[in-house]
Structure formats: C-alpha cells, structure tokens
Amino acid sequence: MSRRSDRITLQVRDSNTLEPTLRAALRKRKTEPSKKKLQPATKKQNYEIQQCWSEDSASPCVLIETPHKELEPAADRSGFKQYTFKNLFIKASPIPRLSWASSDDVWIKMLNKELKYVHDKSYLQRHPKLQPKMRSILLDWLLEVSEVYSLHRQTAYLAQDYFDRFMLTQDNVNKDCLQLVGITALFIASKIEEIYPPKINEFAYVTDGACDMWDIQSTELLLLKALDWNLCPETPISWLKLYAQVEAQTDGENFLVPQFCQETYLQITQLLDVCMMDIDSLDYDYSVLAAAAFCHFSSFDVVHKVSGLTWESVAPCVRWMTPFMDALRSEPKPQLKTFIKVKSDDRHNIQTHVAYLDMLRKAHERRIDSSDLTLSPAALSSTMLTPPNSTEKPANP
C-alpha cells in the first residue's frame, strides 16, 4: 500500500505542480537570446543527418527508381552538371517515342536480357549420349505440337530456350528423357505466354504414352529450379517482331498494333525456324539471329536502322544463314493458315510446321565455307534477296 500511494503522489506532483527549481530554469531560458537557444537544435539536426548517411551508406550519385513520384527540378541547375553521365556502350534506341513507356528504358531492358539469359551449344559435351540431330528432331516435334494446339510462335521459342538452358545445367542426360524435358518446357512456356494454355493431360496425350502427367509435373519442378525461375528471355521471335514493327512504323500509329506485311513476316519466321533447329545457332545472340534473318529479306541499311547493329556483328551470322535461305527458296512459298478461334490479324503469330527436317538436311548439304562468300553491305543494300524464278533456280547438287 505504501508503494502504491507513493507512486500516485509522484504522478500528481508531476502533472499538476511545478518544482521551484523547474520554474526558475524556465524563467532563465526565456530571458536568454534566441540565437543561443537555436544552437543545440542545430547541432542535433546536423548530427542526425550525418548519422543517417553513415548508416545507410548512401551516395548522392545513386539514382533510385520512383515510378510513382516525380522530383521537381531545382531552380539552379548549374550545381548538377558534375552528375551528368552518358553511357557510351549502349547503342541508341531504334524504338520510336512511346506514350505508355520510355523507349530508352524498353530498349535497355531488352539488351540487358541478352546478357542475363546465356545459351551455349557446348552443353552437348556434358551429354555424351546425345547428338545434335536428336535436338533437331525434338524441336521439329515441338513445332508440330505447337501447331496442333494453335500455340504462338513466342511459346515455341520459349520452350526451345528453356530446353537449351536446362541442358546446360545438367550432366549425362539420356536420350530417352529428351521428349519429357521438351514437352515439359513447352508446358511451362504455354503457361507463361498463352491466355488459355492446354491442360497438362493434353501434353501427356501427345507423347503417346511415353510421359504421363506425374512425369511432367516432377520434371517441371526440376526444370524451374535449374533455370532459377528466369523464364522471360527475349527470343529471336520477339526481336524479329520488334525489327519488323520499327521498319513498318509510321507517325501517328499505335506501336503495339502490327503494321508489317504478314506474308513477309511468315517467310522470315520459317527461316528462323529451320535455323534454330541447327545447334550452331546457339553461337549467336538472339538479336543477331533475328537481324540476320531480316537482312536476307531486306537491305542492311534497314537492318542497321531497326537494330543498331553493325555489319561486323551481323555478317558472320548472315553468311552462316545463307545455306538455310537457299533451302527455303527451294520450297513453295508459305501461306497463312486459318486457325479456329484465331483472328485473321493474328494468324502470323501462330506457330506453324512444315518439312523443317528436309530443309535442314538441304541446308547442311549446301553449306559452304564462309571464305567463298562475297557478301558485303553494299551488295545487300543494292538488291533485295528474294526467291528467284523457277527458271533461275540452280540444279540440286
């Protein structure tokens, strides 16, 4: 009882009464000049700012992205001249001005993905039981499955990228597992890209009993872990669509609405399809592959305008791709197909399948040394490479 009464007494004294010494201190502080009164507050503020900078290890040169806030420019900008930087290693963006985003930001993000998502054909050295032809047969089958389920080209190319990058992380994969890995990669890609992806039982059905739903589910988890959930690369199709749209874009049109010719785009995609079935295509960046394919149907001046790439960076891929272009010329001109529940203006985006293995075989037969080719930027810009007339076609070797 004594402790409680003492505590109550102290509370009453603190809230309702002032000690004589406290009153004297307050009167003394009122009589002091205002300059002396502000000194302790100023020191405390400076101390807190310095402490904040040292703890956060911040720097005035670090730019923090704040999409929901815009900083007002300072009245005197002369003091910020020392923080003006220019990246000399990034080529200028060919993307026109966008109303919904910064074209430079979009371009830089696409270039960064080229560095983040690595592919390399040397993964076959980690799988002694596999041959390059096995990969070609698997990709040809995936393209056929994509057409059966009316999947987009981006879906098929995502599956190809998942497969190649997954094999780069594994060792001694048996050839009997290739179909399971391939259909699982297509299953994941369809869930990433498609609005209404096929069910897992439909993917198991096309394997004709070789894989069941439980095999695909377990392999899906294994593949996602191996890829570290990095599932959004810029594929050759996404680069090609960008190049074609930039070349066909005119002022006042929506950049998201395709303006290019669907028939020409279909021919270029078939060239890319047969090239991607060759494992040597992994020697080149996806952006370079798309630019080289575009170069075979246009002039290099146009390719340089839409991609910013130099002839030195594109020429090796153009020369390597020439036998594939010759094989494509020997085939009938592709026609746009009609798909159920697919709009006419979206037919070119649906993956189609033709006799790619035959074209690949013809390309390998016609492959010649790059030293015998006399391609140059001037030659490509003077004439447009189009399939010759039937009377001008050379005889098959």
CATH number, domain containing residue 269: 1.10.472.10
Assess if residue 292 is contained within a domain. yes
If asked whether residues 253 and 397 sit together in one domain, one would say yes
Buried b or exposed e, range 318-332, using 16+ CB within 10 angstroms: bbbbbbbbbbbbebe
If asked whether residues 254 and 316 sit together in one domain, one would say yes
If asked whether residues 285 and 209 sit together in one domain, one would say no
If asked whether residues 338 and 360 sit together in one domain, one would say yes
If asked whether residues 362 and 291 sit together in one domain, one would say yes
Assess if residue 64 is contained within a domain. no
If asked whether residues 247 and 373 sit together in one domain, one would say yes
Q: What is the pLDDT of residue 303?
A: 92
Q: What is the pLDDT of residue 333?
A: 87
pTM for this one?
0.70
If asked whether residues 165 and 251 sit together in one domain, one would say no
Buried b or exposed e, range 122-142, using 16+ CB within 10 angstroms: ebbeebeebeeeebbbbbbbb
Q: What is the pLDDT of residue 378?
A: 42
Assess if residue 283 is contained within a domain. yes
If asked whether residues 264 and 228 sit together in one domain, one would say no
Q: What is the pLDDT of residue 253?
A: 64
Q: What is the pLDDT of residue 29?
A: 53
If asked whether residues 372 and 343 sit together in one domain, one would say yes
Q: What is the pLDDT of residue 77?
A: 46
Q: What's the total number of domains in the chain?
A: 2
Assess if residue 53 is contained within a domain. no
Single residue among 214, 232, 250 that ends a domain in this structure? 232
Assess if residue 193 is contained within a domain. yes
Assess if residue 93 is contained within a domain. no
Q: What is the pLDDT of residue 70?
A: 41
354 is in which domain, residue-wise? 235-397
If asked whether residues 205 and 239 sit together in one domain, one would say no
Q: Which residues of the chain have pLDDT under 50?
A: 1-18, 22, 26, 35-89, 369-397
Alpha helices in the chain (DSSP H): 2-16, 20-31, 34-56, 103-116, 132-148, 153-167, 178-193, 200-205, 213-226, 236-248, 262-276, 286-295, 300-307, 311-329, 356-366, 377-382
If asked whether residues 181 and 291 sit together in one domain, one would say no
